[in-house]
Amino acid sequence: MDQQIDAVRMGWLPFYPQFNENPIEVIRRAEQEGAKTEAEIKDWVVTQIKNRRLRFAVEDPDASENWPRVWIIWRANAILSSAKGHEFFLKHYLGTHDNSIAEEVAKGSVQEALWREPARKGKMDLVVDLNFRMDTSALYSDIVLPSATWYEKDDLNTTDLHSYIHPLSAAVPPCWESKTDWEIFKALAAKVSALSPRQFPVPFRDIVATPLLHDTVDDLAQPGVKGWYRGECEPVPGKTMPHLSVVERDYASLYHKFCSLGPRFKEEGVEERGIHIPIGDLYDRFAASAPKYEWDGREYPSLVEAIDAANTILRFGPETNGEMAYRSFEARERETGLKLTDLARDNRGIHYDFETLKAQPRRILTNACWSGITNGGRPYSSYCQNIERLVPWRTLTGRQHLYLDHEAYLAFGENLPTFKPRITAEASLNLADSRAEGECLMLNCLTPHGKWHIHSTYSDDLRMLTLSRGIEPFWLNDKDAARIGVRDNDWVEAYNDNGVIVTRAVVSARIPAGVSLFYHAPERSIAFPKSPLRRNRRGGGTNSVTRLRLKPVLMAGGYGQHCYRFNDYGPAASDRDTYVLVRKLPGKPQW
């Protein structure tokens, strides 16, 4: 926790809420005290921060002004399969039933975070879920906005390794009350716009802190780790602390802005992976032929329909517009001094639009924002441009690194990747408070990705459940199972301090002794019975026996390739390697 606080203060990581005060209020106070221009405001804020009159929210996470209150979940099963430590989410975020018995251990050991007792529960005021799978997140949300499935809407889909771009197009309209995601967000924007004049009669300013970003000059921000809060240096936004930006908010126009492609896009062009591509002429050409949206006396390309948004992306993506791909290489050439535009020359005239993709999915075009070369039918493989065309790697030295000399890595002894033995059960602290009840066995519990499970067809539909065990089973080694009197298909209870799983066992010699598997990630709604061990509450899913663990070295930033980027670089999800006690379920299962 302390490391995370340092990381936020130094600008390595974002955190929301940002400050212990409403940023709108912060601006107001700044203005009251005479700061008017953006620069003045930023200076004022920096001073407040330096003098500790304005604090980062992360420093006192249990203070009621510092919790997040509204959670909008979109395209993720955030409450279960993504929530390592699901039972703790239930306890602290939702304030509902939970099966954990873990005791608080942080007291006395944190120095930067403010320790408050008792730990706060039920922090969320509102959980909204845009969901078509109707998974556990939907079950636990306050409001579910049913969203359309893949064949009920216009959308785009791709991943780099797949190297094709697919359209999703509506075979049927969204069923019942569901809407496409685009429609949902547009409707939300419309409502916010309609309601906001009451709160904000005129546009207002907001201060936003953003972390140091990879592929920008921020990569060179911190040659050494220095904490301004320890007096080791001055707090300088974008250098030793997060960037600060003053943003004008005009919520009343939010809907219009949602529906139109704005002028700043034309001015600023496309920025990706450190490449800047100017698009002025392309924007004009696009604007001339695209559907129009008019507001405030001006005309813009329309983004009212999802298909318009899709076409906009396709027009300005270097992956799907040969001209943009060519320009991306021009930008890379300027940067590196290499000759690279030949890679995009043959495709320069190609441009995909949504109708083209509906006729047939297309290959993404070789471009400088991605590192593969897919010309001539080559499969996509990362880093081909770096290896074959000597484009520098996006690291500190421009080469591949095995040794990482960030001071944080050095401090933790992780500068060179060497073998580290698996953490022991005791050290994992998963079984500090759990006791063996009856004939029990302690097992390492792994939650691998199974076939038909997450990232693939979901295994909790009737077909997949019929082709397996009709429930998500718990896999045990045959000798281990014999030791606790468990036969194949018997009910078992697997528990630790974090929570409990109750399901049926699969017994096989192909599971190594001492190991158990519970594939990631079934929904909690599949026929799991109650756990007599945990106050007769229902057993949970894979993340009921895990907890969230942050790895400090992954927070390191401000130094070469160690720099935050959304969905690209930052603390990864901790692995779901845990320890449990397993016993045969006493009596008959209760539902």
Residues engaged in binding other proteins (CB under 8 A): 97, 134, 139-140, 451-452, 462-463, 465-471, 477-478, 488-489, 504, 506-513, 524-528, 530, 537-538, 591
Give the separation between CA 546 and CA 430, rounded to whole angstroms.
8
Please say whether the beta carbons of 274 and 392 come within 8 A.
no
Q: Which is nearer to other proteins, 409 or 528 (CB)?
A: 528
Rounded to a whole number of angstroms, the minimum distance from the CB of residue 508 to other proteins is 5
Residue 540: burial class (beta carbons within 10 Å; 0-12, 13-18, 19+): buried
Q: Which is nearer to other proteins, 517 or 556 (CB)?
A: 517
First to last CA, the chain: 38
Rounded to a whole number of angstroms, the minimum distance from the CB of residue 587 to other proteins is 14
The half-sphere exposure of 171 on its side-chain side, counting CA atoms within 13 A, is 4
Rounded to a whole number of angstroms, the minimum distance from the CB of residue 164 to other proteins is 16
Q: Which is nearer to other proteins, 85 or 539 (CB)?
A: 539
Rounded to a whole number of angstroms, the minimum distance from the CB of residue 194 to other proteins is 31
Give the separation between CA 545 and CA 499, rounded to whole angstroms.
5
Q: Which is nearer to other proteins, 399 or 451 (CB)?
A: 451
| Phi, psi for 274 (deg, rounded to 5) | 80, 0
Rounded to a whole number of angstroms, the minimum distance from the CB of residue 140 to other proteins is 8
Rounded to a whole number of angstroms, the minimum distance from the CB of residue 385 to other proteins is 25
Please say whether the beta carbons of 564 and 557 come within 8 A.
yes
Structure tokens at 199: 């709160």
Rounded to a whole number of angstroms, the minimum distance from the CB of residue 465 to other proteins is 8
Q: Which is nearer to other proteins, 67 or 452 (CB)?
A: 452
Q: Which is nearer to other proteins, 245 or 525 (CB)?
A: 525
Rounded to a whole number of angstroms, the minimum distance from the CB of residue 472 to other proteins is 12
Q: Which is nearer to other proteins, 111 or 590 (CB)?
A: 590
Place of tokens 């229902």: 538
Kindly provide the b/e burial profile for residues 132-159, where b requires at least 16 CB atoms within 10 angstroms of the residue's own CB: bbebbbbebbeebbbbbbeebbbbbebe
Please say whether the beta carbons of 184 and 128 come within 8 A.
no
350 contact partners, CB below 8 Å, separation of at least 6? 321, 322, 365
Q: Which is nearer to other proteins, 458 or 569 (CB)?
A: 458
Please say whether the beta carbons of 569 and 419 come within 8 A.
no
The half-sphere exposure of 126 on its side-chain side, counting CA atoms within 13 A, is 5
Residue 374: burial class (beta carbons within 10 Å; 0-12, 13-18, 19+): buried
Q: Which is nearer to other proteins, 62 or 478 (CB)?
A: 478
Listed residue (438, 577, 432) closest to 514, CA to CA: 577
Q: Which is nearer to other proteins, 217 or 482 (CB)?
A: 482
Looking at residue 416, the DSSP 8-state letter turns out to be: S
Q: Which is nearer to other proteins, 386 or 468 (CB)?
A: 468
Rounded to a whole number of angstroms, the minimum distance from the CB of residue 21 to other proteins is 37
Listed residue (264, 267, 263, 271) closest to 217, CA to CA: 271
Determine the distance from the C-alpha atom of residue 328 to the mean position of all C-alpha atoms in its chain, rounded to a whole number. 27
Q: Which is nearer to other proteins, 183 or 478 (CB)?
A: 478
| Strand, helix or coil for residue 427 | helix
Rounded to a whole number of angstroms, the minimum distance from the CB of residue 183 to other proteins is 23
Rounded to a whole number of angstroms, the minimum distance from the CB of residue 362 to other proteins is 19
Q: Is the dihedral of CA 218, 223, 227, 228 positive or negative?
A: negative
Q: Which is nearer to other proteins, 150 or 295 (CB)?
A: 150
Rounded to a whole number of angstroms, the minimum distance from the CB of residue 450 to other proteins is 9
Listed residue (69, 90, 70) closest to 79, CA to CA: 90
Rounded to a whole number of angstroms, the minimum distance from the CB of residue 150 to other proteins is 17
Task: Please write down the HEC assignment for all residues of 75-109.
Answer: CCCCCCCCCCCHHHHHHHHHCCCCCCCCCCCCCCC
